Amino acid sequence: MTRLSVLGGGSWGTALAMIFAPRFDRVTLWTYEDELAREMAAVRENRVFLPGFRLPPNIDVTSSLEEGLRDASIVLGVMPSTVLRKVYTDALPYLPAQAPIVSATKGIERGTQRRMSEIIREVTGRERVAVLSGPSFAREVARGEPTLVVVASEQMELCREIQAAFTGPTFRLYLSADPTGVEIGAALKNVIAIAAGICHGMGLGSNAMAALITRGLAEITRLAVSLGAQPATMAGLAGLGDLILTCTGELSRNRRVGTELAKGKNLDEIIGSMRMVAEGVENTYSAMELSRRQGVSMPIAETLYSIFTEGKSPHDALRDLMERPAGLEVV
């Protein structure tokens, strides 16, 4: 019997559990909240994070890591980046020895500047770790709309194994041997998306948005390449594709944060009003730590950081960006 274990019962974890359910005999969806697990098991719907979608009958919902990981053929991690280290530490006694781990969490750990797959290897001692990323809103995946993503690992045999297990009529996986590029693209696009939301909230038009996405991609690429990533990765689904989606899509939580900032709302107030996590906030701090360590210029991320830490207004931040000395267009 094949069993998929999904760690994380938010909108993305629930959507992935649903779309992969036909490909496994059983899917176990683990969520931290006991009450949510009981409700989802009873009503067969995630009314908190993904309302309106009925869970397939072969999905079991639990708040027990031991139960959630029992007999797993593949472990798919979809928890927020800030709790990833703790979840895998707690899960370690129950991880099946032969099950590969696929990380669909997008982030960089503040303080250590580690990518999610690096933390998983450090905590679990496992080498069969892959990452999954690409332009994918949870609600559209749950609706069965066509979605293309990337699975990345230095071990191409593992990538092919995950590709075969996860690919279906509406969910297509491409292979990549560049997990560094895929993870940096996944984390940093959320930072640029907050800036895109600010542009949107200020009523700026298509010129500004196109410029922001283009220069944002240049920043992400510089940082990724400095860490050993392949530049071509940033032109693909996990780079440009995910960046466009998150900067322009109405379902983007990170874009919504920027839109609310442009209206003059306080960051803490915005975060407090959101039930789901906007990873770009935490990753703005991580991006600054990483860019300074690597000596990489990231003016958009740095400007956003000044809004968060210095209380700079979005209008002043935009003026500062536009008044920077202009030179050659350098990626």
Q: Based on the residue annotation, tell me whether 86 is a catalytic residue of this protein.
A: no
* Dihedral angle sign, alpha carbons of residues 45, 116, 236, 166: negative
**Residue 9 φ/ψ region, left for φ over 0, alpha for ψ in the -120 to 50 degree band, beta for the rest:** alpha
Are the C-beta atoms of residues 304 and 196 closer than 8 Å to each other?
no
Instruction: Quote the CA–CA distance of 286 and 292 in Å, as a whole number.
Output: 10
Question: What one-character DSSP code corresponds to residue 240?
Answer: I
Instruction: Quote the CA–CA distance of 292 and 327 in Å, as a whole number.
Output: 22
Identity of residue 263: K
Are the C-beta atoms of residues 133 and 104 closer than 8 Å to each other?
yes
Set 86, 189, 263, 265: catalytic member? 189
Assigned token pair, 176: 């990549």
Question: What one-character DSSP code corresponds to residue 23?
Answer: G
Instruction: Quote the CA–CA distance of 65 and 70 in Å, as a whole number.
Output: 8
Which residues form the catalytic set? 189
